[in-house]
Amino acid sequence: MPDGDAAAAGEAGAAAGAGETGEAESLSLCARCAASGETCCRGRRVFVTRGDVARIAEAAGFGDFVVSAGADAEERRLLERLDPVFARVFDAEGKRPVLRHADGTRDCVFLREDGCALALETRPLLCRLYPYDYDAATIKGVHAHLCPDPERAFPPLLLALLGMNRDAAEGWRKQLYAEMAEEPSRSGAPQSIL
């Protein structure tokens, strides 16, 4: 989810084209979603690679943003069937490193009133890739139906509002799979990347 003047201008222009007016035009999509309480940063467990952890710790200046969280057997089987590479991220107990939620909430620890507190280049690769559908080989499409705001869940509109660039997303996809390939196999004895 882009930061910066160009992305903000693109989002404001897309919002104006979508018929929104006033103050909402000047807010990024992340800020509008956070303000409405409907955000992709709520209620999700976001897997982080060792690279994500290092980038975020350096930028944030603290390291207690990662927890080891489980996924039920059905979720693991589904992930493994859809993308076998993701099987590497689970340990023998069915856990993987994820961003923790803010105390007493289901919100990502980095979610603020104005959206994500992390700059785009610091965010976890999974967050940067949202809402693209992808696997180890390619970007396959857009999962706009995952957007919590049904008015924005039309793929071209959602991508425009996010200021998404497919070429940048392709680079992040490659980086994600390269970083996952560097992870120690977690399927045997529990190992931590925390």
From residue 7, give the alpha-carbon distance in Å to each of 36, 60, 124, 135. Answer: 20, 22, 18, 26
pLDDT at 32: 73
- Is position 194 within any domain? no
Share of the chain above pLDDT 70, in %: 77
Asked if the model's pLDDT at residue 144 lies above 80, the reply is no
What is the pTM (predicted TM-score) of this model?
0.76
- Is position 157 within any domain? yes
Q: Strand, helix or coil at 110? A: coil
Asked if the model's pLDDT at residue 152 lies above 80, the reply is no
- Is position 193 within any domain? no
Q: How many domains does the chain have?
A: 1
85, two tokens: 């590479």
- Is position 31 within any domain? yes
Residue 185 phi, psi dihedral angles, 5° rounding: -60, 125
Question: Which region, left, alpha or beta, applies to residue 19 given φ > 0 means left and ψ of -120 to 50 means alpha?
Answer: left
From residue 90, give the alpha-carbon distance in Å to each of 27, 33, 125, 153, 179. Answer: 37, 31, 17, 30, 15
- Is position 34 within any domain? yes
- Is position 189 within any domain? no
pLDDT at 66: 95
Closest CA to 53 of 68, 69, 66, 44: 66
- Is position 146 within any domain? yes
pLDDT at 56: 97
Contacts of 130 by beta carbon, 8 Å cutoff, 6+ apart: 1, 40, 143, 146
Please give the residue that has the higher pLDDT: either 70 or 34: 70
pLDDT at 157: 78
Q: What is the mean pLDDT of the chain?
A: 77
Question: What's the pLDDT band for 102 if we cut at 50, 70, 90?
Answer: very high
Asked if the model's pLDDT at residue 54 lies above 70, the reply is yes
- Is position 192 within any domain? no
Closest CA to 82 of 134, 46, 129: 134
pLDDT at 27: 59
State which residues form the domain around 50: 5-182
Question: What's the pLDDT band for 186 if we cut at 50, 70, 90?
Answer: low
